[in-house]
Amino acid sequence: MTTSGALPLLLRIAAVALAALGVIDPRLQWSETVPAAVDLRIVSDHDDTAGADAARSAVDRLQRSVGEKVAFNTGAAPAARVLVGGVSTIDPLPIADVSVSTIAVGKPSSPNVRIVAADSPAAAPLGWSARIDATIEAVGMSGRKSVVVLEQQGVALARTEYAWRSDRERTQVEMFYAAPVTGVSRVSLRVLPAEGEAITLDNKVDLRLETVARQLQVLVHEPRPSWATAFVRRALEQSAVFDVAASTGASRGLAVRAGAPPSRLTAGALEAFDLVVAGAPEELTRGEVDALRSFARVRGGAVILVPDRRPSGPYVDLLPTARFEEVLVENPLPLRSPQPGSVRGSEIAIPREVGAGRVIASVGQKAAEEPVIVEWTAGAGRVIFAGALDAWRFRAADSDGYARFWEALAATASVASPRKIEVSIDPPIARPGESVAVRARLRRTELIETATRTRTAPLEARIMGADGSTTPIRMWPTADVGVFEGRIVAPAEGRYDVQVASEQTTADDVLITAADVRHAAGTLDSSADVAGAIAMSTGGVAVGAEDLAPLERLLASLPQGVTTRAIHPVRSMLYVTAFAALLCAEWTLRRRRGLR
């Protein structure tokens, strides 16, 4: 066969091969490089038109300089994020799965007031004011005043003023408000915007306020009659918030009782109480002291020791110090205390070592202040020593101040005593879609402890909507014994009951979700700090609008993306053309030879 004769054959074979390939339609992987995807967001204060313009200008410049190397907002998974504008006003911050860089626009950051931190207060009994503590910070407000308002549904409930003394200042404000009904409500803490304030979105924080109808269980135990305790007892008995049980040893084997006190002071018998007020504590037996210690450490209860003479006897072991100094003065001294009410004393037992204790009331001036009423943490609970031995004598000195002091002290200590299960939600008011932690803390009395292991009863948690829909929450044990935590995604706007149940008891809490919830700004000093922190923690850069070079370098250095896709070559027009060309060539050669 000559060469000229073989060529048509070859062409024919090639055409057949292409046809066969066309039938098979093979699939091939094809990779190509693409510009890096960047998610770019402009965020600014709604009132700040100039800031928005500056942000847009910065974006234009950035797009011109690195537009060939990166692609903005393509919808693809971003290789980096860029936030432009008022970084501190971004709420919530984007998920930091990639580097986040920030461009600060030229808007001045002062004068500005912002709420740095504010926690939802602990639940308060009905008729009692919850204490709302907040940290607010001002920049460029020296000599001006800020008004802090507590609001509910836009109605001002309480307000306080603060006069700023320096250009950069941070202060604590406290407000009190007694919710009128039991339950959970959403309130807002708002700093009224100052004239010309740079950023107003950080002036408001949403808080949860809980009021409970719970009556606080108090036991007043006196091994012998004691005036010091009798008047504390009377103050508590006159308040509806306390359910007081009292036992006074009148003589050997004889007692005067009121309410339902336990017949003996044992750890088990004390579990039902939130607070034990122990009068004439030097008469307590070693067994009773052990019961009180267990009550404080394991049950998490509060013990208030109200002696009327110099501390002695086994109960001193409950205190971190056994050294006391007894002071007698001719005229009663008023005790200094942040507590409501007032107390005076002329016979005072001063603990010589306070250590980790917290001084609730003291005498003397700052330089020579001596602790009189001190609280020490004891395990899960607390022990409070009241060293004003004869304060009861001066109880009428400040128009019922004595009774108010003791009511407030007892109520605060009792409220802090945990129930069998304590449920907490963080954040208590969340946006739909926000991650929410549900935490259940079992009281130590609910744990089954052996020498080698600690067990708990099975725990079930669920979240229930107003329409009756129920979603279980998986609770995981944490590093803390008896503490379980679960995470949920905050559902649509509304109120939800989060219920945690063990075999014997159930506890619940309320989750409020709303789209316009605002959380505290955080503890970083300024907008620049926030931006820097975000950038540093995510591998981004924080730049100003006037100098974008570091950001341009970062974006230019982003690895270009590689896109891999599947191709079918036989489906292309080139393939069809090649097939047709082969057939045509073969036909032409054959015709030249005179073949058909």
Partner 1 sequence: RHPDRARPPVRARVFEAAGEVIQSTNRRDVVPLRRPTWAFLISVLIAAAAVAVISQRTGVGTGSSRDDVARSGADAGHGLVVVASILPPAYTREPLRTLENPDRIDAIAGSRLRLVLRSRDAWRVRLGHDEVRLQRVEGGAAGEVSLAESGYLAFERRESGQDDRRLVPVAVTPDRAPAIRIDAPAKDLLLPDAKATVPVTATATDDFALESLDLRYTRVSGSGEQFEFKEGSIPLQISRPSDRSWSARTRLALGALALAPGDSLIYRVVGKDRRPGDAGFASSETYFIEVAGPGQVALEGFELPPDRERYALSQQMIVLKLERLRARERSLARRALEEEVANIAAEQRAVRSNFIFLTGGTVEDEEEEAAHEHEIQEGRLENTARREIANAIQHMGRVEQGLAAVNTAAALPAAKAAVDALQRAFGRNRYFLRTLPSRSRVDPARRLTGELATASNWRRELFPIQTDEPAAAARMLLARLLELSPQIRSGSLPSAATTALAEQAIAVAPSSVEWQRISKGLVALGDTPPGDSTGRATLLSEIVAGVVPLTRGQRLGSVGAPDEERSLRSAWEGGSRR
- Tell whether residue 206 is a contact of partner 1 (CB under 8 A): no
Q: Is 222 in a helix, a strand, or coil?
A: strand
Beta carbons of 53 and 106 less than 8 angstroms apart: no
What pairing do the DSSP bridges indicate for beta strands 216-222 and 275-279? parallel
Stretch that binds partner 1, among 6-14, 151-159, 459-467, 559-567 (CB under 8 A): 151-159
Between the two ends of the chain, the Cα-to-Cα distance in Å is 19
The label of the residue with tokens 């949403």 reads 206
- Tell whether residue 375 is a contact of partner 1 (CB under 8 A): yes
Q: Is 460 in a helix, a strand, or coil?
A: strand
CB of 181 to partner 1, least distance (A): 5
Query: How far, in Å, CA of 184 to CA of 471, rounded?
Result: 21
- Tell whether residue 213 is a contact of partner 1 (CB under 8 A): no
CB of 532 to partner 1, least distance (A): 28
Beta carbons of 528 and 104 less than 8 angstroms apart: yes
- Tell whether residue 178 is a contact of partner 1 (CB under 8 A): yes
- Tell whether residue 393 is a contact of partner 1 (CB under 8 A): yes
- Tell whether residue 20 is a contact of partner 1 (CB under 8 A): no
- Tell whether residue 67 is a contact of partner 1 (CB under 8 A): no
Q: CB within 8 A of 115, min separation 6: which ones?
A: 134, 135, 136, 189, 191, 202, 203, 204, 205, 520, 521
- Tell whether residue 396 is a contact of partner 1 (CB under 8 A): yes
Query: How far, in Å, CA of 307 to CA of 342, rounded?
Result: 18
- Tell whether residue 152 is a contact of partner 1 (CB under 8 A): yes
Q: Which of 114, 404, 443, 462 binds partner 1 (CB under 8 A)?
A: 404
Q: According to CB under 8 A, which residues from 506 to 535 bind partner 1?
A: none
- Tell whether residue 419 is a contact of partner 1 (CB under 8 A): no
- Of 225 and 550, the one with the shorter C-beta distance to partner 1 is 225
- Of 71 and 510, the one with the shorter C-beta distance to partner 1 is 510
Query: How far, in Å, CA of 592 to CA of 395, rounded?
Result: 130
Stretch that binds partner 1, among 15-23, 76-84, 370-378, 484-492 (CB under 8 A): 370-378
- Tell whether residue 234 is a contact of partner 1 (CB under 8 A): yes
CB of 191 to partner 1, least distance (A): 17
CA-based nearest residue to 389, from 338, 340, 336, 350: 350
CA-based nearest residue to 324, from 387, 368, 265: 387
- Tell whether residue 200 is a contact of partner 1 (CB under 8 A): no
- Of 13 and 250, the one with the shorter C-beta distance to partner 1 is 250
Question: Residue 337 has what DSSP assignment?
Answer: -
Stretch that binds partner 1, among 36-44, 53-61, 118-126, 459-467 (CB under 8 A): 118-126
CB of 327 to partner 1, least distance (A): 21
Q: CA-based angle 297:299:300, to the nearest 5?
A: 65
Stretch that binds partner 1, among 257-265, 276-284, 501-509, 581-589 (CB under 8 A): 257-265
- Site size for partner 1, by CB under 8 A? 69
CA distances from 499 to 97, 288, 405, 415, 462 (A): 33, 36, 35, 20, 5
Query: How far, in Å, CA of 551 to CA of 540, rounded?
Result: 8
DSSP H stretches of helix in 208-329: 227-237, 267-270, 286-297
Q: Which of 63, 135, 377, 526 binds partner 1 (CB under 8 A)?
A: 377
- Tell whether residue 225 is a contact of partner 1 (CB under 8 A): yes
- Of 337 and 513, the one with the shorter C-beta distance to partner 1 is 337
CB of 164 to partner 1, least distance (A): 24
Q: According to CB under 8 A, which residues from 292 to 321 bind partner 1?
A: 320
CA-based nearest residue to 62, from 558, 534, 545, 536: 545
DSSP per residue, 394-437: GTTTTTTHHHHHHHHHHHHHHHTS--SEEEEEESSEE-TT-EEE
- Tell whether residue 381 is a contact of partner 1 (CB under 8 A): yes
Per the document, the length of the chain is 596
Q: Which tokens sit at 121?
A: 């207060």
Stretch that binds partner 1, among 193-201, 245-253, 446-454, 485-493 (CB under 8 A): 245-253
Q: Which of 10, 50, 122, 584 binds partner 1 (CB under 8 A)?
A: 122
Beta carbons of 147 and 190 less than 8 angstroms apart: no
- Tell whether residue 255 is a contact of partner 1 (CB under 8 A): yes
Q: Which of 340, 432, 494, 522 binds partner 1 (CB under 8 A)?
A: 340
Query: How far, in Å, CA of 222 to CA of 225, rounded?
Result: 6
CB of 330 to partner 1, least distance (A): 16
The label of the residue with tokens 């409950």 reads 318
Query: How far, in Å, CA of 239 to CA of 407, rounded?
Result: 8
Q: Which of 102, 200, 239, 527 binds partner 1 (CB under 8 A)?
A: 239
- Of 8 and 381, the one with the shorter C-beta distance to partner 1 is 381
CB of 334 to partner 1, least distance (A): 17
- Please give the residue ranges that form the binding site for partner 1 (CB under 8 A): 122, 124, 126-131, 152-158, 176-178, 180-181, 225, 227, 231, 234, 237-240, 244, 246, 250-251, 254-259, 320, 338-340, 355-358, 360, 375-382, 384, 392-393, 395-396, 404, 407-409, 411-413, 415-416
